């Protein structure tokens, strides 16, 4: 027989899944990304999919700003960013599509991220920017 | 089967909405070596070495599309090495990573780390 119990607030020290694997709640809460996005950074930039994202801003060639809906607790959080490309583009030294992602300044709600050419370091729009944010929400 | 539906989780000090945990949890991660052999992973069944700097990892449980976020990096003691997502090879059930040498602008084998955020199918 299946059953469902619905509660609003649950206080727990450990969480155990159906297979018996236990994690401390602190690990689950701290290890969860508080925001993430996959966006097209070319032309009119747009998110393909996201979580806790309020907006994307195009700051110019290869320069972007992500804004989260729910703010982080400060500015000392961690951001992971990666550019997405096709392998053949840098294998053939295609200058227009061989990017590396860089992180810039941030606030509790905004993250600057850049994309530059692999071969010459010049900022350039990227077709698939991937970004995840870890830390504590405000 | 029993299901416990919870709006907020609290460890005694900190409260997090359950939606943050379900949406923000990594649905897969992998630490793969230079031949796509897996050192540590979650929700990854196997790795494939497609050639120099060209790797992919099959997921046990697929994502709902290939629109997930997949930050990745290399683990290397040599400067100028980097990793990117290979959008020519990734799918809802395949994480694809390419590694290269920025100094020579060419593919090179590297140990890679990647994580996936998004919704499972």
Q: What is the ipTM of this complex?
A: 0.86
B11 interaction partners in chain A (CB closer than 8 Å):
11-13, 24-26, 29
Residue A92 lies in a domain: yes
Residue A76 lies in a domain: yes
Pick the residue from chain B with its C-alpha nearest to A51: B23
Tens digits of per-residue pLDDT, B90-111?
999 999 999 988 778 788 999 9
Please state the domain count of chain A: 1
Residue B108 lies in a domain: yes
Residue A17 lies in a domain: no
Tens digits of per-residue pLDDT, B6-22?
899 888 888 889 999 99
Q: Residue A118 belongs to what domain range?
A: 33-134
Residue A11 lies in a domain: no
Residue B107 lies in a domain: yes
Q: Do A28 and B4 touch (CB under 8 A)?
A: no
Tens digits of per-residue pLDDT, B46-104?
999 999 999 999 999 999 999 999 999 999 888 788 898 998 899 999 999 999 887 78
Residue A127 lies in a domain: yes
Single pTM value for the model: 0.89
Residue B58 and residue B21 in contact, taking contact as beta carbons nearer than 8 Å:
no
Please state the domain count of chain B: 1
Of A13, A49, A83, the CB nearest to B68: A49
DSSP-assigned beta bridge partners for residue A89: none
DSSP-assigned beta bridge partners for residue B1: none
Mean pLDDT of the region B35-39: 96
Residue B106 lies in a domain: yes
Q: Do B117 and A9 touch (CB under 8 A)?
A: no
Contacts of A92 (CB under 8 A, 6+ apart): none
């Amino acid at each position: 027989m299946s059953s469902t119990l619905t509660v609003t607030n649950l206080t727990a020290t450990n969480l155990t899944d159906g297979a018996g694997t236990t994690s401390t709640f602190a690990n689950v809460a701290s290890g969860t990304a508080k925001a993430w996005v996959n966006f097209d950074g070319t032309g009119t930039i747009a998110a393909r999919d996201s979580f806790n994202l309020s907006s994307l801003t195009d700051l110019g060639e290869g320069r972007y700003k992500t804004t989260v809906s729910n703010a982080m607790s400060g500015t000392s959080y961690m951001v992971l960013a990666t550019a997405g490309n096709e392998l053949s583009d840098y294998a053939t030294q295609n200058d227009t599509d061989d990017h590396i992602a860089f992180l810039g300044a941030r606030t509790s709600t905004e993250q600057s991220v850049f994309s530059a050419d692999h071969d010459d370091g010049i900022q350039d729009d990227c077709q698939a920017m991937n970004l995840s944010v870890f830390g504590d929400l405000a | 089967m029993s299901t416990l539906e919870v709006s907020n989780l609290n460890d005694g000090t900190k409260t997090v909405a359950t939606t943050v945990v379900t949406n923000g949890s990594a649905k897969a991660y992998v630490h793969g070596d230079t031949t796509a052999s897996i050192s540590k992973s979650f929700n990854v069944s196997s790795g494939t070495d497609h050639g120099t700097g060209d790797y992919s990892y099959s997921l046990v449980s697929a994502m709902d599309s290939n629109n997930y976020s997949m930050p990745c990096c290399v683990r290397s003691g040599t400067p100028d090495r980097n990793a990117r997502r290979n959008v020519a090879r990734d799918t809802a059930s395949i994480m694809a990573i390419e590694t290269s040498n920025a100094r020579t602008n060419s593919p090179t084998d590297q140990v890679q780390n990647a994580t996936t955020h998004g919704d499972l199918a």
